[in-house]
Amino acid sequence: MNRLTAFLILMMTSCTLHAACSIPQSFWDWPRSGDAVLSLKEIRPCIDAYLSDPKSKLIIHHGANDEDSLHSGELRAWLMSLAIDPSRITDASDLPKGLSIETQNH
């Protein structure tokens, strides 16, 4: 397959690209920064999918308890500090416990 064909296939499939990434509980045990968020290998597929489509959105899924809700807010703030448009981030309190992010591409 030549490069042009591979590029065209990638462009056609990127419209349906979808990623879901769990954030390990151990992430919250250490001091956090923008660099720490970017270096978190578990969320890299979601960030890459988000960056691949200017119409994509990030959904932060979290548990209904106070700790998970606070972690969701903190993650949202760190993502915004990394120049992710806040209008493209939504929250969903739909997990029993924990935190994950999902990228929805159109």
pLDDT of 17 reads 53
So where are the chain's domains? 3-104
Architecture of domain 3-104: 2-Layer Sandwich (3.30)
pLDDT of 35 reads 87
pLDDT of 3 reads 60
pLDDT of 8 reads 44
Structure tokens at 58: 């990030």
What pTM, to 2 d.p., does this model score?
0.79
CA angle, 106 then 62 then 58, to 5°? 20
